[in-house]
Structure 1
C-alpha cells in the first residue's frame, strides 16, 4: 500500500536520535514544539530502547511514537566514548533498516526526515527516500560555525603546539577566542577517528540540508547567525526550546525549592556539571573547600563519588548547603535565591541560565563546552571563567566572590537579564523563533 501526502492527511515524519547525554530529551522537545503547531503530523522516534523507555515512560505523546533500534548485550559496557564509537560504527545501516521496517509495518511512507545534526548520514538516507532532511543542532550558533569551518581552521592553525593561536580569522571571532577553545577533534589529530569523523562529516553535510535548525534565538548572536545564513540553504532558529515548549513538572523530590525559599535573593550558588559531567576528585575537593571557607550558600546537584568530598564536609556545611543527586534545573534556575550557576557550559545549561536570569561560573570539559564558555565570558559577559581552567580553592573563592558579592556580579545579572528578555520575546506569539518554527512546519508539510 502506498502512502500519498495530502493536506488533509497526517504527515509522517521519521526522527533519528543521537541517544546520549541530553540529546534525546532535547530532540523530543523539538519534535513536541512542531507537533504543538501541527497536531495532525505523526512522528516516529527512532532511538535505543533504553533511551526511549526513559523518555516515553509517561503519557501524553499521542502523535509521537518510539521505535526501538538495536540494544544488544554489551552495548552498555565501556566508557561513554566507547559506547558512542560503537553506536556510530553501526548507526547508518541500523537506522536505514529500521526506517524500512517501520514503513513496511505501517504501510505508510515517511514524508520528511528529522535528525540530530550529529547524524550526518541522515542526509544520505533522506536523499534515497526523496524527502526533506531537517537536522537540529543542539548547541549555539558559534560552535556550529566552527564545525563547518573545520578545514579552514586546520589550515590556519596547523599542528599541535599552536593551541594559543587566536581564531580571529573566523567571522566575528575576536582574538580572545583561541584554538584551545575548540574541540580537539576539529583542530588536531586524525579526522578518521569515529568522533572526529562524525563532526567533520557533519560540517560538510549540513550544507546540503533542506533546512538547518538550531536550539537558539537569533538575537543571541546576530552576526554569527548572519554568517550561517550565508552558508546554509535555509537556517531557522527555534529556541530556547525549553521555554518555547515547556515540560510542566512539579517534581521537587528533595525539597530544593523550599530550601531555596529560606535564602536571600541572588545569594545561592547552584552547582551542576551536566548529565555526564564529573569533576576530577582533586577539583571536587577544591570546590568544596572554597564553598566551606567562603561560607557561600550552595545547592549542588552531585553525581560524583561523595568520597571525593572532604571528610565531614556535608555535616559541617549543613546549615548553608544542600547536596542532592538530581534537581529540576529549570525550576531551580528560575528561583530568585539563585545568584550564580557553576556549570560545565553545556548549551542547555547556558540557555536555562539565561532564561532564569542567572550568571555563570564556567568550568568546561569537552565537546563544544569551551567555545560556549568563551562566548558567555567575552561576547555576552555573563560568566566568570575559572582561572587556569580547573578548580583550586583560591580560584573558586575568587570566582564565587565576583559572581555573588562584588559589582561584577551585579553587572552580569543586568546583562543576563537583557538576554532573558530577548529570549522571551523570541518565543512570544510574534517572536522570531515562533515565526521560524511556523516556517519549518510549512516546509515539512509541503
Structure 2
C-alpha cells in the first residue's frame, strides 16, 4: 500500500511489495516508488514463526474438502479480539454451516460454551498455518482477514475474495482498495459486528460469483507482472542495474 510522505519523496528509488496494476494512480504520482511484487512468503520454512507447526495437518485437512468450500480465518500476529468480538466471530462461523480453518492465538481464545464440540466435524482451529500455501489451496473459498498488506497481497495473488475486518493503520486503506476499487471483498457496516452479519457477508462473498471472477482476473494481472518481461520483473531488473551503475 503506497502512502506519500516526506520520506518517500526525498529518495531516489524506493522498492515496495506491490504491483502496478493494484495501485496505478499512486505509482503515477510517485514515480520514485518502484513496485516489484508480489513478494510472497516461502512457507517451506518455519523461520520466524514461534507458534506450533500445524502445516502438514492443515494441508491434509484441506485436501479432504471440495473446491471453494472452506473459509480461512486469520488476523495476523498483533490483532487482539475482546471477548464479545471473538464470540460473535465464533458464532458467525458456526452458523454459516460451512467448513472453516481458523488461526487463533492461544492467549486469545474465548470460545462460546460447547462451540468446539459443535463444530468439531467441520472446523479446524490451529495456532499457526502456512498462509501462502493455505491461500493457494483450491479448497479455500474466502479469507476473513485484518487486511494487513502482506495478507492482502497473498490473497489477491491467489485470487481469493476477502471479508475485511481491519484494526489499525493502513489496514483501513487496504480495505478501501479491496472493497471499493478492486471489488474483490466486503466490509462490515460498523464496529459492532454481529454473528448474523458475519454469516451473511461470508455467504454473499461466496455465492456471488462476481467476487471470485474479479479476484481471478486480478490474479492473472499479477502473474503476468511477475513473469519475465512483466512490469514487476522489469522493475526489479532495472533497479539492480541502477544499483550496479
Q: In the TM superposition, what are the counterparts of 1:175-186 in structure 2 within 5 Å?
A: none
For 1:442 and 1:426, the matched residues in 2 are separated by 19
CA deviation after TM superposition for structure 1 residue 386, in Å: 1.7
> Pairwise mapping of residues 363-402 of structure 1 onto structure 2 (< 5 A)?
363-402=165-204
Question: C-alpha distance in 2, partners of 1:307/1:327?
Answer: 16
Match of 2:91 among 280, 283, 289: 289
Q: What residue in structure 2 maps to residue 207 of structure 1?
A: 9
- CA shift, 1:228, in A, is 1.9
For 1:417 and 1:325, locate their aligned partners in 2 and report how far apart those are by CA, in whole Å. 29
Counterpart of 1:274 in structure 2 is: 76
Q: Give 2:146's aligned residue.
A: 344
Contact 2:43 2:132 in 1 (8 A): no
Q: Does 1:433 align with 2:235?
A: no
The CA distance in 1 between the partners of 2:15 and 2:192, in whole Å, is 33
1:208-230 Cα distance to aligned partner (Å, 9 max, x none): 1121212101112222221222x
2:113 corresponds to which residue?
311
Residue 221 of structure 2 is matched in structure 1 by 422
Distance, in Å, in 2 between the alignment partners of 1:269 and 1:211 is: 39
Structure 1-normalised TM-score? 0.51
**Residue 304 of structure 1: how far off its partner (Å):** 5.1
User: CA-to-partner distance for each residue in 1:148-182, whole Å, 9 max, x for gaps?
Assistant: 3xxxxxxxxxxxxxxxxxxxxxxxxxxxxxxxxxx
Partner secondary structure for residue 241 of structure 1: coil
Change in Cα spacing, 1:305 to 1:411, as seen in structure 2 (3 Å) is same
Contact 1:353 1:360 in 2 (8 A): yes
From 22, 34, 42, the counterpart of 1:247: 42
Q: Secondary structure at the match of 2:141?
A: strand
Shift of 1:396: 0.7
Question: SS at 1:388's partner residue?
Answer: coil
TM-score, normalization by structure 2 = 0.92
Unaligned runs of 5+ in 2: 47-53
Deviation at 1:371, TM superposition (A): 0.7
| 1:296 to partner: Cα distance | 2.0
Which protein has greater RCO, CA pairs closer than 8 Å, 6+ apart? 2
Secondary structure at the counterpart of residue 71 of structure 2: strand
Alignment of 1:315-330 (within 5 A): 315-330=117-132
CA deviation after TM superposition for structure 1 residue 307, in Å: 4.4
Secondary structure of the corresponding residue to residue 340 of structure 1: strand
**Which consecutive segments of 4 or more residues in structure 1 shift more than 3 A?**
250-254, 304-307
Q: Secondary structure at the match of 2:8?
A: helix
- Matching residue within 29, 51, 64 for 1:227: 29
Are residues 1:443 and 2:245 paired? no
State the alpha-carbon separation in 2 of the partners of residues 350 and 381 from structure 1.
13
Secondary structure (helix, strand or coil) at the match of 2:66 reads coil
Give deviations 1:29-82, integer Å, cap 9, x for gaps.
Answer: xxxxxxxxxxxxxxxxxxxxxxxxxxxxxxxxxxxxxxxxxxxxxxxxxxxxxx
The alpha carbon displacement at 1:431 in A equals 0.8
Alignment RMSD:
1.6
Question: Equivalents in 2 of 1:335, 1:438: separation in Å?
Answer: 30
Do the aligned residues in 2 keep the contact of 1:363 with 1:389 (CA within 8 Å)?
Answer: no
